[in-house]
Amino acid sequence: MSHRLACVALTGTLCATALSCTGTRSQPHVQVVPEPVVKTLSAHVTAVPPEKLGTTHRTGCPVPPERLRLIRMNHWGFDGKVHSGELVVHEDAVAPVLRAFGQAFAARFPIRRMRVMAEYGGSDAAAMADDNTSAFNCRQVTGDPARLSRHSWGDAIDINPVENPYVDVRGTSHPPNGRTYLDRDHPRPGMITPDGVVTRAFREIGWYWGGRWSPPDYQHFSEEGG
């Protein structure tokens, strides 16, 4: 049997002798199968295990643990890949939060990381410096220990704190490594802009963006606006 007939007999693509159908030696054909394109947000909602709360919840917090929910969901990273993340939110915030993050996911908005605040011992400073996107954390307002943050109710979220820092009344960036992102006129990946997909998504669910405050809190979204 000729090489050409051998190719036909094998239906097609590779010769049994590793020769091409013209009789010359060639590299075997390797078919590259592309990774499936993930188009929609995937999420799983449960009660919050105690270890996922840790020191972020204590006696006197305005919301009891049984009113909180753990959301495990995927998100796009800065590396162009899909990663798994976790958020703790109030049970009433689950549906609107998933709607907003679903739109962000569809637009491939990158999120650095999404870990529960228990992994940072409840330290807002540590989580911000690590560029962590988070929600529930029973704590005082940064720079105003007389008031509880909306995060204490589980209906506030901080997104990409480094790319979207909080600026206090003295003009100080929180976190400090977010200082280079105070120039909002030249958007970079992960930055939240007034008319960007993240702002529009949260506006549609009736949440407020701290980037419009004075001084601004670019990372912050909350249902009550505080």
Burial of 136 (0-12, 13-18, 19+ CB in 10 A): buried
The string of pLDDT tens digits covering residues 178-201 is 999 999 999 999 999 999 999 999
Residue 7's pLDDT is 37
Q: What is the pLDDT of residue 26?
A: 53
Contacts of 169 (CB under 8 A, 6+ apart): 143, 215
Distance CA 132, CA 159 (A): 7
Give me the mean pLDDT over the 165-176 stretch. 95
pLDDT digits (tens, 9 = 90+) for 44-79: 999 999 999 999 999 999 999 999 999 999 999 999
Q: At 221, phi and psi to the nearest 5?
A: -130, 140
CB atoms within 10 A of CB 208: 18
Which tokens in the block code for residue 62?
A: 């305005």
* Residue 178, CA atoms < 13 Å, CB-side half-sphere: 30
Burial of 83 (0-12, 13-18, 19+ CB in 10 A): middle
**Of residues 33 and 11, which shows the higher confidence score?**
33
Give the pairing type, strands 132-133 and 113-114. Answer: parallel
Span 104-132, pLDDT tens digits: 999 999 999 999 999 999 999 999 999 99
